[in-house]
Amino acid sequence: MRIDINGHQVEVTPALRDYVQDKLARVARHYDHHCEARVILAVDKLEHKAEATLATTGKTLFADAIASDMYAAIDLLSDKLDRLVVKQKEKMTDHHRGESAARSDSFG
């Protein structure tokens, strides 16, 4: 997974960069193929905002989180992204491939 991290009104320190990469590694384990993430960290008055756009094959996922601390915002963001990715993978899986009475020629 390639992660691009930018900061608006905040300097992205190596500690913040490592924290984001560690948290988004949890999201990357759901994908076998290449995906790309753009993370924007911003501070507006007393609100710390983290938002991410995850580009995968066929779908672009977006999530954002606001908290009073940047690390808490990153935690919330990773949780939201994880839920979105799992939901997207479930949608992509065809649940109707099994045997069913409606598809079989013989009715019992």
Taking only the tens place, the pLDDT of each residue in 6-59 is: 999 899 999 999 999 999 988 888 776 778 899 999 999 889 999 999 987 778
Task: Tell me yes or no: is domain 2-92 CATH 3.40.630.30.
Answer: no
SS3 105: coil
Q: If pLDDT is split at 50, 70 and 90, which confidence band does 107 have?
A: low
Q: Can you tell me the distance from the alpha carbon of 50 to that of 65, in angstroms, rounded to the nearest whole number?
A: 5
* Cβ atoms of 107 and 101 closer than 8 Å: yes
Q: Residue 93 above 80 pLDDT?
A: no
Q: Residue 100 above 70 pLDDT?
A: no
Listed by start position, the domains of the chain span 2-92
- For the stretch 54-79, pLDDT in tens is 987 778 999 999 999 999 999 999 99
CA distances from 31 to 8, 35, 57 (A): 29, 8, 10
